[in-house]
Amino acid sequence: MTWQTDWISSRSRLTPESTAVIDGETGERWSFRQLESRAAQLAGYLRSIGVARGDRVALLAPNHVSYLDFLFACGKLGAILVPLNWRLSVHELKYIVGGFPLEGCGRHCK
């Protein structure tokens, strides 16, 4: 376990219904319980496709709660989140991603 997993799991147990995240654009709110649940579900999926401790998982997304889902899910697995700037060109992304092995890649869709 890493500090991220300990932190989100602890907050979920201590204050499950307290607000953890507020989307600044929509006003949508997520509780610590919801955030922990989302991270656990994503961690299960990542594990099912072969992501393991030490693997790198890239995420191409604008600022959104999905970053936290991936951050905490990777923490649960001991994987490394590689956030990618969605404003980069395909050429720039290929250069970045080509520099290391990736086990998984995610993106945010509205």
Q: What is the mean pLDDT of the chain?
A: 85
The per-residue pLDDT for range 36-54, each reduced to its tens digit, is 999 999 999 999 999 999 9
Least confident of 11-15, 61-65, 74-78, 79-83: 61-65
- The reported pTM is 0.81
Q: Percentage of the chain surpassing pLDDT 70? A: 84
Decide the pairing of beta strands 80-84 and 19-22: unpaired
Question: What pLDDT, on the 0 to 100 scale, is given for residue 68?
Answer: 92
Decide the pairing of beta strands 80-84 and 56-60: parallel
Taken in order of first residue, the domains within the chain and their CATH numbers are 3-107 (3.40.50.980)
3-state SS string for 9-51: HHHHHHCCCCEEEECCCCCCEEEHHHHHHHHHHHHHHHHHCCC
Residue 29 tokens, joined: 């709110």
